[in-house]
């Protein structure tokens, strides 16, 4: 069964304390790995798509990386406004929908 | 662009009542997706359309759920009759190239069935 697992479920950081969120996947052929940010009461907002192992993408304080088994979302010197739930989703072979993880709730404390 | 528009934003109803959720996708997007999000199960795809035609409805939980897309700018998700276990946040998303492409989500409808 195709699965996407995110860890930790929740993460609390001090402002400026860098860390990483993990997204591990067991899918039958990865076509793409998506990262989304979701603020309370809002829909997920697209951040990145990664397609192949070794690929990296950056946006402000966020950097996403991909290996053959997992993806990491690195947050450098986070600020309180980075607090949100971060979701990853895998696009697999065939005409199948995205498989979403349950997300990591990030809280950045000033 | 206004983004994906959903209405209502909040819906409270009683068990057994009919509920209709509405979505207007981003103009020019040929694909429309309906998702349900709960704490227990996360984000689940219910159904998606391409050019107004339902492509995959395997995620629709029961016959009580139905979705339509009468034209390129409007879709509805209907639950009849509603049950307390249907309480969740329902999202609509749209994209240009379907499953390969970035999906843009609406703000969601929080449904509470008493």
Which chain B residues contact residue A100 at CB under 8 A?
42-44
Q: Which residues of chain A have a CB within 8 Å of the CB of B24?
A: none
Confidence of residue A30 (pLDDT cuts 50, 70, 90): confident
Residues present in chain B in total: 114
* Cα torsion through B32, B62, A32, A107, rounded to 10: 90
Best to test chain A binding among B26, B43, B102 (most A CBs inside 10 Å): B43
Query: Cα(A67)–Cα(B7) distance, rounded to whole angstroms?
Result: 39
Which of these ranges, A12-16, A90-94, B42-46, B54-58, has the smallest mean pLDDT?
A90-94
Length of chain A as a residue count: 110
pLDDT in tens, B15-51: 999 999 999 999 999 999 999 999 888 899 999 999 9
Model confidence at A93, pLDDT cuts 50, 70, 90, reads confident
What is the DSSP track for B16-78? T--EEEEEEPPTT--EEEEEEEETTTEEEEEEEEETTEEEE-TT--STTEEEEEEETTEEEEE
Which class for A59: exposed (0-12), middle (13-18), buried (19 or more C-beta within 10 A)? exposed
| Half-sphere CA count of B83, side-chain side, radius 13 A | 6
The answer to whether the CB atoms of A46 and B59 lie below 8 A apart is: no
What does the alpha-carbon distance between residue A48 and residue A36 come to, in Å, rounded to a whole number? 7
Taking only residues 52 to 81 of chain A, the set having a beta carbon closer than 8 angstroms to any beta carbon of chain B reads none
pLDDT at A37 over 90: yes
Record: contact A97-B107, CB cut-off 8 A: no
Q: Is the peptide bond before A75 cis (omega within 30 degrees of 0)?
A: no
Of A58-67, B39-48, B95-104, the one with minimum mean pLDDT is: B95-104
| CB proximity A43 to B under 8 Å | yes
A37: contact with B, CB 8 A cutoff? no
Interface probe with A: pick from B32, B38, B103, most Cβ of A within 10 Å: B103
């Amino acid at each position: 069964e195709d699965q996407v697992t995110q860890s930790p479920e929740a993460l609390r950081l001090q402002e400026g304390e860098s860390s990483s969120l993990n997204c591990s996947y067991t899918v039958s052929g990865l076509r793409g790995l998506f990262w989304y940010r979701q603020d309370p009461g809002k829909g997920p907002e697209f951040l990145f798509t990664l397609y192949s192992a070794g690929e990296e993408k950056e946006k402000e304080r966020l950097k996403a990386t991909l290996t053959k088994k997992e993806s990491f979302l690195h947050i450098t010197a986070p600020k309180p406004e980075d607090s949100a739930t971060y979701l990853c989703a895998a696009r697999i072979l065939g005409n199948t929908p995205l498989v979403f993880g349950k997300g990591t709730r990030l809280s950045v404390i000033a | 662009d206004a983004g994906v528009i959903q209405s209502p934003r909040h819906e409270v109803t009683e068990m057994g009542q009919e509920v209709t959720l509405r979505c207007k996708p981003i103009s020019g997007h040929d694909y429309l997706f309906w998702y349900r999000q709960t704490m227990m199960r996360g984000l689940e795809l219910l159904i998606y359309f391409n050019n107004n035609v339902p492509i995959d409805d395997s995620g629709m939980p029961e016959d009580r759920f139905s979705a339509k897309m009468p034209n390129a700018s409007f879709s509805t998700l209907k639950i009849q009759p509603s049950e307390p276990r249907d309480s969740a946040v329902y999202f609509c998303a749209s994209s240009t190239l379907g499953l390969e492409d970035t999906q843009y989500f609406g703000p969601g409808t929080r449904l509470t069935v008493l």
